[in-house]
C-alpha cells in the first residue's frame, strides 16, 4: 500500500496548518484515480486540530434562519430516544438510520474518526482549500461533531455547521461551530450556500446518493469544494485467508444484503467519483486506500492503522448488528448477541488478513456554472 497520499503529487493541507491554495487558472487539478497496494502480512497471524486555543461557548442546535419544518430544535420529541435490543436509537425521523446513538456508539464514531484521519495521512481533509476564501463549512452526518469542532479550530473565521439526526454533539464548542438536527435527505433549507461541504462515513445511510450529491452541488458557492470520505462495508482479503468459511464472512454479507434490501447502499464509496462527475463537479480527485482490519501487516504504519481499525470494528460490532438482525430479519436479541460474540472472537484471533477500502473523492463547483451546463 505504501504511502497512499503520495499518489497525489501536489502538497495537501494538513489539519492545523495553512491550507494549500487552489491551483492557478489554466492549470486545473488533474483528474486522477490512484491505485493502492495491499499491506504485506506477517508470517504469523496475528490528533488533529490547531494549536491555537479558541474561546468556547454553548453549542447552538437550532433551525437556520426562519424556523423550518425540516430542521428541528431540541424539542422533547427529538431527544426522546427509543431503546431497542438493549441499545438507544435516534428519535428524529425514526428508522432513517440503522445504528444506535448511545454512549458506546459515540465512542465508536470517535474511533472511526481517528481511523480515517490516520488513513489519509493525519489530515482532516484533502481538498485544496484556500483558508481565506472558506467562510461557511457544512459537515453532513456530523455524529459526535468531532470533525466539525476540529475544523472550527483550523478555520476560526469560518462558520462551521454540523447536521445529524441525533443531538449527541458536545455542549461546548468553538464560537464558530454550531449543530443542527436535520435529515440531509430532506429538502435543504436556508438561503446561504457553503464554500466547503464534507460528507463522511455515510455508507448504509443514504437512499438516493445521486440526489444527495446533486443537493451538495446546488448548495455550494461557485468555486466551492465538496469532499466525500467513505468506505466499503464488505470485507475481503488479498491472500485468500478470509473466505465464506469464516463466521465474520457470513455476518458481514448478511448485514450488507440486509442494507441493500432496505434501499441503503452498503458500498457507495467506489461509485462516488461517478456521481460527483455526473453532478457537474470539475477538478475531481479520487484516492483509494486499502485499510487492514487487525495488526497483521508487516510495516509499522499499516500495523498501527490495522490496530485502530480493529478497535473501531469491535466497538461498532453490536451497534452495526442489532437493528438489522433483530428489527429487520426477526432474530431474537439472544441469537444476535451470540453471532456478534462469535464474530468478535474470530476478529480478535487474527486467523485471516481482512481489509476494506476507504475512498476519498473531492471536486470543485465551476466558477462559471453556465459554461458547464
Contact between residue 268 and residue 230 where contact means Cβ atoms under 8 Å apart: yes
**Which triple of cell numbers denotes residue 27?**
492549470
Cα–Cα distance, 252 to 235 (Å, whole number): 7
What residues contact 301, with CB distance under 8 A and at least 6 apart?
none
Q: Locate 317 and state its grid cell.
A: 460490532
Per-residue confidence at 370, pLDDT binned at 50, 70, 90?
Answer: low
* pLDDT score at 101: 66
- How far apart CA 303 and CA 314 sit, in angstroms, is 16
> Which position has the grid cell 486540530?
49
Per cent of the chain over pLDDT 90 is: 54
C-alpha cell at 240: 485468500
Cβ neighbours of residue 38 closer than 8 Å, sequence gap 6 or more: 1, 238, 290, 355
- 3-class state of residue 179 by DSSP: strand
Query: Contact at 8 Å (CB) between 364 and 282?
Result: yes
Q: Who contacts 146 (Cβ-Cβ below 8 Å, separation ≥6)?
A: 109, 110, 113
Q: For residue 182, is pLDDT > 60? A: yes
Task: Pick the closest to residue 289 from 309, 313, 275 (CA basis).
Answer: 309
Please spell the DSSP secondary structure of 217-241, one letter per residue. HHTEEEEEEEEEEEE-SS-B-SSS-
Strand partners, 139: 162, 198
Asked whether 163 and 182 are in contact (CB, 8 A), the reply is yes
Q: 3-class DSSP state for residue 310?
A: helix
- Closest to 291 (Cα-Cα) out of 145, 150, 118, 175: 118
CB-CB contact of 203 with 232 (8 Å): yes
**Assigned fold of 30-367:** Rossmann fold (3.40.50)
Q: What is the pLDDT of residues 97-121, one digit of tens each?
A: 566 767 777 888 889 999 999 999 9
CA–CA gap between residue 5 and residue 277 (Å, rounded)? 22
Which of these ranges, 61-70, 190-199, 306-315, has the smallest mean pLDDT?
61-70
**Contact between residue 231 and residue 200 where contact means Cβ atoms under 8 Å apart:** no
Region 63-73: mean pLDDT is 42
- Per-residue confidence (pLDDT) for residue 40, from 0 to 100: 56
Residue 143 confidence (pLDDT): 82
* Band of pLDDT at residue 39, cut at 50, 70 and 90: low
Per DSSP, the chain holds a count of helices (H) and strands (E) of 8, 12
C-beta of residue 193 within 8 angstroms of C-beta of residue 219: yes
Q: Which residues pair with 9 in a beta bridge?
A: none
Give the strand pairing for 57-58 and 32-34: unpaired
Q: What is the side-by-side strand order in the sheet with 194-200?
A: 32-34, 282-292, 355-364, 220-231, 194-200, 136-140, 159-164, 177-181
Instruction: Please give the model's pTM, rounded to 2 decimal places.
Output: 0.76
Amino acid at each position: 500500500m505504501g504511502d497512499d497520499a503520495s499518489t497525489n503529487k501536489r502538497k495537501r493541507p494538513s489539519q492545523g496548518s495553512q491550507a494549500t491554495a487552489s491551483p492557478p487558472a489554466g492549470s486545473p487539478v488533474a483528474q486522477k484515480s490512484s491505485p493502492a497496494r495491499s499491506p504485506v502480512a506477517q508470517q504469523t497471524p496475528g490528533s488533529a486540530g490547531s494549536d491555537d486555543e479558541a474561546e468556547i461557548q454553548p453549542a447552538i442546535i437550532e433551525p437556520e434562519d426562519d424556523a423550518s419544518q425540516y430542521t428541528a430544535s431540541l424539542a422533547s420529541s427529538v431527544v426522546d430516544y427509543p431503546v431497542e435490543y438493549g441499545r438507544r436509537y435516534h428519535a428524529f425521523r425514526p428508522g432513517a438510520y440503522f445504528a444506535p446513538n448511545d454512549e458506546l456508539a459515540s465512542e465508536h464514531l470517535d474511533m472511526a474518526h481517528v481511523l480515517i484521519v490516520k488513513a489519509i495521512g493525519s489530515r482532516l481533509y484533502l481538498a485544496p482549500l484556500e483558508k481565506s476564501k472558506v467562510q461557511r463549512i457544512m459537515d453532513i452526518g456530523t455524529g459526535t461533531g468531532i470533525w466539525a469542532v476540529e475544523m472550527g479550530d483550523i478555520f476560526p473565521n469560518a462558520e462551521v455547521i454540523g447536521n445529524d439526526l441525533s443531538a449527541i454533539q458536545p455542549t461546548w464548542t468553538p464560537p464558530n461551530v454550531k449543530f443542527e438536527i436535520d435529515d440531509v435527505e430532506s429538502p435543504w433549507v436556508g438561503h446561504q450556500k457553503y464554500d466547503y461541504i464534507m460528507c463522511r462515513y455515510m455508507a448504509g445511510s443514504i437512499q438516493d446518493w445521486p440526489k444527495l450529491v446533486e443537493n451538495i452541488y446546488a448548495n455550494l458557492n461557485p468555486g466551492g469544494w465538496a469532499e466525500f470520505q467513505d468506505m466499503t462495508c464488505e470485507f475481503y482479503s488479498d491472500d485468500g485467508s478470509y473466505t465464506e468459511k469464516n463466521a465474520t464472512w457470513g455476518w458481514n454479507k448478511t448485514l450488507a444484503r440486509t442494507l441493500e434490501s432496505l434501499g441503503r447502499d452498503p458500498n457507495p464509496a467506489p461509485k462516488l467519483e461517478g456521481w460527483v462527475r455526473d453532478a457537474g463537479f470539475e477538478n475531481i480527485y479520487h484516492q483509494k486506500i486499502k485499510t487492514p482490519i487487525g495488526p497483521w501487516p508487516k510495516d509499522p504504519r499499516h500495523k498501527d492503522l490495522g490496530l485502530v481499525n480493529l478497535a473501531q470494528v469491535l466497538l461498532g460490532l453490536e451497534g452495526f448488528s442489532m437493528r438489522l438482525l433483530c428489527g429487520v430479519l426477526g432474530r431474537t436479541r439472544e441469537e444476535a448477541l451470540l453471532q456478534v460474540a462469535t464474530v468478535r472472537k474470530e476478529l480478535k484471533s487474527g486467523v485471516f488478513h481482512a481489509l476494506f477500502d476507504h475512498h476519498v473523492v473531492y471536486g470543485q463547483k465551476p466558477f462559471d456554472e453556465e459554461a458547464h451546463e
